[in-house]
Amino acid sequence: MDPGGGVGYSGSRSIGERVMRTQVAVIGGGPAGLLLSHILHLEGVESIVLESRSKAHVMKRIRAGVLEAGSVKLLRDVGLGERMDREGHVHDGAAIVWAGHGRFFIDTRKYTGKRMMAYGQTAITEDLYAAREAAGGEILDEVDDVELHGLTGASPHVTFEREGRPERIDCDFIAGCDGKHGVSRPSMPAGLTKVYEKVYPFGWLGVMSETPPLEDLVYASHPRGFALASQRNPMLSRYYIQCSLDDRIEDWPDERFWEELKSRYPSEIADAIVTGPTIEKSIAPLRSFVSEPMRYGRLFLAGDAAHLVPPTGAKGLNLAFSDVFYLSRALVEHYKGGGDRYLDSYSDMALRRVWHCERLSWWMTNLMHRFPDDTEFDQRSRENELEFLSMSDHAHAALAEQYAGLPYES
Ligand code: APR
Ligand code: PHB
C-alpha cells in the first residue's frame, strides 16, 4: 500500500485511456472530500480526489463559519486543529434579539460544557489542502465528464477527462462528496432514492467586511426580516440579511446594506456595528433537502451531495464532517479486517444526524424569518415562541444542546 498517494498506472483499457488504481475514489474536493481523504490517509487507506473546479476556485469559496464542538474535536483529533486554535474565535453560544425586545444569550458552554469555534470554511479548506499536499495526496482538479460505473459490483470504477484526455480510476469504493450539483447522487437509480425538499421564499444577502465584528454572534428576528452578525477573525466580519429572491447584488450598494442591517437590530447593537467597504457580497437561496438512502452498492454519499440545510444554525459544514467521521470509520474498519458493520449502518446512522439538523435548521429559519404569506396568527405564534425561548431555562438548554451539536454515535 502506498499511503502517500495511491496512484498506480496500470496500463490502458481503451485507446489513450490512462488507468489508475486506488482503494477509495473520492468525487469532490470540498471540505467533505478533502477531510475524508485526509483521515483515510492517516489510517493507511489510499484515495484519489477528483475535483471538477480549479484549486484556486475551491480555495476562495466563502461559506459558513461556525463549528460544532464535535467538528472542533474531529479537526483536532486528525491533526488539523493548530491554525484553528490560533486564529479561530472560541464560540460559547449566540445571542438572539427580536423587534422591541432585549437580547438573550444561548449559552452553549453553560448548558453543554462544550466549546464551539468560529472559524471559516475558507480557512478550513486551506488547511485541508495543505495537509493533503504535504502528505503527497492525490487531488486531480479541473476534471470533466466524471462518470461512475459498476456501483453494485465488487470493483467499481470512475471515468473522467483531464486536459482533454480520457482517464479511469479502478477502486474498491466511491465516496460521493461532490455537493449539491454533483454527479454521484444522480448516479443512484432514481427509483431507489427518496427525496425530501423544502424551498424557502427568500434568500440571504451576505457580505464580508474587513471590520472588527461584534463580540458575539447575534441573530435578529425583525418585521423587516432576519439578520445575522457573525465573524471570521478579529478584523473580518460576516453579516447577512434576509432578502427577496428577486433582489440582485446591484440592488444592494454597501450604504443600503449597512442601513438595512442596522435597522433590524436594537439601537445599542446597531450602534456597535462597525461598517466599512464590503469585500464580498452574494445572495444565496435557502433550501432544505435530503436524499435517502446515502448508499448504493459501493457508492457512499457524504455532505451536500446527500443533503442541504438552510444556513440558519450553521449546520451544513458540521453535517458534512459528521458524515465523513462515520464514513471514514466504516472504511477503515473494513480495511483493517473489522468487518462491514459500520459500512452497512452508514446510511441509517448518518441520516439520524442529518434529520436532526434538518429539523433544527428548519425550526430556526421559521423562528427568525418573515415569510411573505405569514398570517397574523403565524407571527403571533412566532413571537410567543421567541418569548418562551427567552425566558425558559429548559428551552435555552434544549437549543444549546442542539446548536453545540449532538454527539456522534458509537
Ligand atoms: N466531479 C468532481 N467534483 C465535483 C463534481 C463532479 N461532477 N461536481 C461538483 N464537484 C465538486 C465541487 O466543485 C465542490 O468543490 O465537489 C465539491 C463539493 O464541495 P461542497 O459543495 O463544498 O460540499 P461538501 O464538501 O459536502 O461541503 C459541505 O457545508 O457549509 C456547507 O454547503 C456548505 O460547502 C459546504 C458544505
Ligand atoms: C456564518 O458565520 O457564516 C454563519 C454563522 C451562523 C449561522 C449561519 C452562518 O447560523
Helix or strand or coil: residue 158? strand
Residue 334 Cβ inside 6 Å of ligand 2? The answer reads no
Dihedral of the alpha carbons of 248, 249, 253, 259, in degrees to the nearest 10: 70
Residues 58, 130: one domain?
yes
| Residue 69 resides in a domain | no
* 398: CB partners within 8 A, 6+ apart: none
Per-residue pLDDT tens digits for 70-123: 999 999 999 999 999 999 999 999 999 998 788 999 999 999 999 999 999 999
Q: Which domain holds residue 236?
A: 90-117+198-286+370-404
62 Cα to the center of ligand 1, angstroms: 12
Cβ-contact 324, 354 below 8 angstroms: no
Residues 233, 354: one domain?
no
Q: Residue 73 — φ and ψ, nearest 5°?
A: -65, -45
* 368: CB partners within 8 A, 6+ apart: 96, 98, 219, 220, 221, 226, 312
pLDDT for position 65: 85
Residues 149, 268: one domain?
no
pLDDT for position 14: 66
Q: Which atom of ligand 1 is nearest to the CA of 302?
A: 26
| Residue 83 resides in a domain | no
Helix or strand or coil: residue 132? helix
pLDDT for position 11: 47
pLDDT for position 17: 87
293 Cα to the center of ligand 1, angstroms: 19
Per-residue pLDDT tens digits for 217-226: 999 999 999 9
Residues 339, 212: one domain?
no
| Residue 108 resides in a domain | yes
Structural domain count of the chain: 2
| Residue 365 resides in a domain | no
Q: Grid coordinates representing 388?
A: 418562551
pLDDT for position 361: 98
Residues 220, 316: one domain?
no
Q: Tell me the C-alpha to C-alpha distance, in Å, between residue 313 and each of 106, 171, 230, 368.
A: 12, 37, 11, 11
CATH classification at residue 130: 3.50.50.60
Nearest one of 132, 112, 72 to 321, comparing CA atoms: 72
| Residue 144 resides in a domain | yes
Residue type present at position 38:
H
pLDDT for position 7: 45
Q: Grid coordinates representing 131?
A: 495537509
Residues 130, 258: one domain?
no
Residue 121 Cβ inside 6 Å of ligand 1? The answer reads yes
Residues 29, 177: one domain?
yes
| Residue 249 resides in a domain | yes
Which residues of the chain are under the pLDDT cut of 50? 1-11
Residue type present at position 41:
H
